Amino acid sequence: MEILIRDTPEASAQVAADVVSKIIRERANLVLGLATGGTPLRMYQELIRMHQAGKLSFQNCTTFNLDEYVGLPPEDERSYNHYMRSNLFDRVDLDPAQTHLPDGDAPDLREACRDYEQKIKDAGGIDLQVLGIGANGHIGFNEPTGSLASRTWVKILSEQTIRDNSVYFDNPEEVPRHVVTMGISTIMEARHCLLLASGAKKANAVRRMIEGAVSASCPASILQMHPRVTVVLDEEAAYLLAVKEHYKWIERNKLDWQRY
Ligand code: F6R
């Protein structure tokens, strides 16, 4: 894992935007995996700023989001579809036909999951997958103890995740109990994963992901088995890491071509 630690959430969002913009510029027909939630918002703002300054175009990108709530149609303001349109898609030059989210409102959810996997395959697989991490170590909405070999599927949210996500709803009762999420295997097939975490609330999950045993109890720990992961943290999210200074040493001593 490449672990990059910055003093503030703003500085880590800047690094994350640099990783994403670099690959967009380098690769034609890029397939980008995207995340929602609070964490990537600053990075999206920075990418929009680069686009508005004429320094970044998404014209040749195809996107696949990690997850969507079951039962919320795309026009519902609390859906991830709506989130993506208002926080990125409608503000850059992405072709709407090239943006994809799991269909949480499909009449046959299992069919929708298979269809999503097929679309990712048809697009040639994901080049760069952006990830956040839950306080309980989930990635996508693959909650602790779920299969580490899963593909896009319907998951039941844990009570902790429902509580954490209730800030986006009028009350916790309104948070859907079910989601459609890329599975762990789907995520692991991305050629490069970029995981972002900020704030002390994530510090324990971050420690378990990077320095703990690989275990379904902390699904993000499976990323230790991935050949190419960049983790971007702020100091608060990194504060429980046992060998934080070692990660900083490694970063300082990288050769130019070894940097994301
Ligand atoms: C979102 C997703 C989730 C979030 C995680 C952290 O698409 O897949 O894994 O990344 O729940 O959420 P925030 O960033 O709101 O703390």
pLDDT tens figures, 109-121: 999 999 999 999 9
Residue 147 one-letter amino acid: S
**Whether residue 82 lies in the annotated active site:** no
Give the mutation target among 41, 42, 66, 84 for probing the ligand 1 site: most ligand atoms within 8 A of CB. Answer: 66
Ligand 1 pocket, residue 134 CB under 6 Å: yes
User: What pTM was estimated for this model as a whole?
Assistant: 0.97
User: How many angstroms separate the alpha carbon of residue 219 from the centre of ligand 1?
Assistant: 13
Cα separations in angstroms, 99 against 62, 64, 127, 172, 202 = 6, 6, 15, 29, 29
Residue 150 one-letter amino acid: S
The residue ranges of DSSP E strands in 102-186, in sequence order, are 128-131, 153-156, 178-181
**Whether residue 10 lies in the annotated active site:** no
**Whether residue 143 lies in the annotated active site:** yes
CA–CA separation, 198 and 201 (whole Å): 8
- Would you state the structure tokens that stand for residue 95, as one six-digit string? 């072709």
pLDDT tens figures, 150-204: 999 999 999 999 999 999 999 889 999 999 999 999 999 999 999 999 999 999 9
User: How many angstroms separate the alpha carbon of residue 135 from the centre of ligand 1?
Assistant: 9
pLDDT tens figures, 38-88: 999 999 999 999 999 999 999 999 999 999 999 999 999 999 999 999 999
**Whether residue 136 lies in the annotated active site:** yes
Q: In which order are the strands placed within the sheet that holds 99-100?
A: 2-6, 229-234, 192-197, 128-131, 31-34, 62-65, 99-100
- Reported as a pLDDT band with limits 50, 70 and 90, residue 256 is confident
* Mean predicted confidence (pLDDT) in 5-25: 97
Cα separations in angstroms, 121 against 30, 114, 178, 246 = 13, 11, 24, 38
